[in-house]
């Protein structure tokens, strides 16, 4: 017994004095064994990853700010090398805050923003109203063909929006909708171009599947007993949906609403075509407004940058507010039975 103990001791001391492997293996081993070292490594990795993410997301905004503050004449001709160090790096060439006023003087940018808000809000309302009913049906009722229908809804959401553009534009111009090859006239659409309807209708259709999917998931998680209780207490099915299921699915509703709102607010492709010119009267959105600073002969980069910053601010505010709501909804919901 004594010899076995002795040999164990000697191997133990060998390990501590002469570690095996090269420096990397030794370091790896020490990280695995030493909790403090491990935590330091995790913190370092977190800082690197978060720093990289912040740099890549925030740098464009910094650049926008640089462009907005630099007068137009110096954007193309200015000396971008940093003082003293001499390396070329984007930094403000002057402090032309007046750009944020001038952008409203040259173009009625507030009207473009108003258009974007109207489009985004009406789309969000339509999408939430329809998706709530659809989500209730898909999430809480059992009927034959539910899976197939859900699949169809999801499939449609994967179609490229551009595929719908030409026929929709044709119809919204007021032309009759005709079955291809057969020539049978189905109906004649009113002329919707240059109206909010020409944008809200396709947006709603395009963003519905995602909202339906989100709400279906949330609504299906509400225990049946709660809905039954509400119905026995005196609500209809619809009443139970509004009074019990929707409040308990607040995080899901907020997610669907925020996603829809932001996507429509930022939308350019459909609206640039459905609004025939970049005029606020034609319901051209925010992006149409930004492009109006570009004329045939001049491009006012500083004003475009200033307008971009102003346009982004509402989204920043909404995200911050909604994020708080989502987090509080998640913690207060507590679906305990």
Partner 1 sequence: MANLTLEHVTKRYEDVTAVDDMNLDIDDGEFICLVGPSGCGKSTTMETIAGLTKPTEGTISIGDRDVTTLPPKDRGVAMVFQNIALFPHMDVYENISFGLRLRDYDKEEIDRRVEHATDVVQLEGMLDRMPEEMSGGQRQRVAIARAIVREPDVFLMDEPLANLDAKLRVHMRTELQRLHKELDTTIIYVTHDQAEAMTMSDRIAVIDGGELQQIDPPLVCYNEPANLFVAGFIGSPSMNLLRGRLTANGAETDDFAIDLDVENVPGASAGDDVTIGIRPEDVYPTDTQGAISTPSDPIEVTTDVLEPMGDQIFVYLTFDETDAGAMRGDATGSDQLLMSVDPDRDIEEDESMEVVFDRTKVHLFDDASGDALVHGVEDLTSSGFETRVSETRSGEADE
Report H helices in the chain. Answer: 2-17, 23-33, 35-69, 72-77, 99-106, 109-140, 146-157, 162-172, 197-220, 224-233, 237-240, 246-248, 250-266, 269-274, 286-291, 301-333
Instruction: Give how many residues touch partner 1 by CB under 8 A.
Output: 22
Residue 231 in contact with partner 1, rule: CB under 8 A = yes
Which member of 67, 128, 200, 230 binds partner 1 (CB under 8 A)? 230
Cα–Cα distance, 63 to 179 (Å, whole number) = 50
Rg over alpha carbons for the chain, rounded to the nearest Å, is 29
Nearer to partner 1, 9 or 233 (CB): 233
Residue given tokens 């004095």 in the structure block: 17
Closest approach, Cβ 38 to partner 1, in A, equals 36
- Using CB under 8 A as the binding rule, whether residue 145 contacts partner 1 is answered as no
User: Is residue 215 at the binding interface for partner 1, with CB under 8 A as the rule?
Assistant: no
Residue 254 CB-half CA count within 13 A: 18
* Closest CB to partner 1 among residues 91, 231: 231
Residue placing its CB nearer to partner 1 in the complex, 316 or 335: 335
Burial class of residue 203 in the structure, from the number of CB atoms within 10 Å of its CB (0-12 exposed, 13-18 middle, 19+ buried): buried
CB closer to partner 1, 136 vs 213: 136
Q: Does 50 bind partner 1 (CB under 8 A)?
A: no
Quote the CA–CA distance of 302 and 97 in Å, as a whole number: 10
24 touches partner 1 by CB under 8 A: no
* Buried/exposed code over 84-112 (b: 16+ C-beta within 10 A; e: otherwise): eeeeeeeebbeebeebbebbeeebebeeb
* Part in contact with partner 1 (CB under 8 A); list of ranges 25-33, 93-101, 183-191, 234-242: 234-242
Give yes or no for residue 154 binding partner 1 (CB under 8 A).
no
Q: Which stretch binds partner 1 (CB under 8 A): 147-155, 193-201, 228-236, 293-301?
A: 228-236
238: contact with partner 1 by CB under 8 A: no
Q: Within 13 Å and on the Cβ side, how many CA atoms surround 149?
A: 13
Residue 331 contacts partner 1 per CB under 8 A: no
* Residue from 239, 323, 328, 330 in contact with partner 1 (CB under 8 A): 239
CB of 230 vs partner 1, minimal distance in Å: 7
Applying CB under 8 A, which of residues 236, 268, 313, 321 lies at the interface with partner 1?
236
Task: Pick from 11, 83, 187, 336 the residue near partner 1 by CB under 8 A.
Answer: 336
Nearest to 148 by CA among 158, 156, 159, 140: 156
């Amino acid at each position: 017994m004594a010899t076995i103990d002795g040999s164990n001791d000697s191997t133990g001391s060998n390990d501590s004095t002469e570690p095996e492997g090269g420096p990397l293996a030794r370091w790896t081993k020490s990280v695995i064994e030493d909790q403090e070292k491990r935590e330091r490594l995790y913190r370092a990795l977190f800082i690197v990853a978060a720093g990289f993410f912040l740099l890549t997301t925030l740098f464009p905004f910094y650049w926008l700010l640089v462009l907005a503050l630099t007068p137009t004449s110096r954007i193309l001709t200015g000396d971008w090398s940093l003082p003293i160090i001499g390396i070329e790096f984007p930094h403000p060439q002057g402090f032309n805050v007046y750009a944020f006023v001038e952008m409203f003087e040259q173009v009625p940018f507030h009207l473009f923003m108003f258009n974007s808000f109207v489009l985004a809000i009406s789309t969000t309302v339509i999408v939430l109203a329809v998706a709530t009913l659809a989500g209730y049906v898909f999430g809480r009722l059992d009927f034959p063909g539910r899976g197939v229908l859900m699949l169809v809804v999801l499939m449609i959401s994967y179609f490229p929006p551009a595929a719908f553009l030409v026929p929709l534009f044709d119809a919204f111009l007021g032309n009759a909708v005709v079955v291809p090859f057969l020539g049978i006239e189905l109906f004649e659409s009113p002329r919707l171009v240059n109206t909010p309807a020409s944008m809200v209708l396709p947006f709603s259709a395009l963003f519905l599947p995602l909202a339906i999917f989100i709400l279906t998931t949330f609504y299906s998680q509400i225990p049946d007993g709660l809905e039954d209780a509400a119905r026995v207490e005196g609500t209809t099915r619809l009443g139970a949906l509004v009074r019990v299921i929707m409040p308990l699915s607040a995080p899901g509703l907020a997610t669907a609403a925020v996603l829809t709102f932001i996507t429509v607010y930022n939308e350019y492709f459909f609206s640039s075509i459905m609004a025939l010119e970049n005029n606020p009267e034609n319901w051209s959105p925010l992006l149409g407004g930004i492009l109006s600073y570009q004329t045939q002969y001049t491009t006012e980069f500083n004003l475009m940058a200033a307008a971009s910053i102003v346009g982004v601010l509402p989204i920043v505010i909404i995200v911050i507010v909604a994020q708080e709501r989502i987090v509080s909804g998640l913690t207060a919901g507590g679906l305990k039975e």
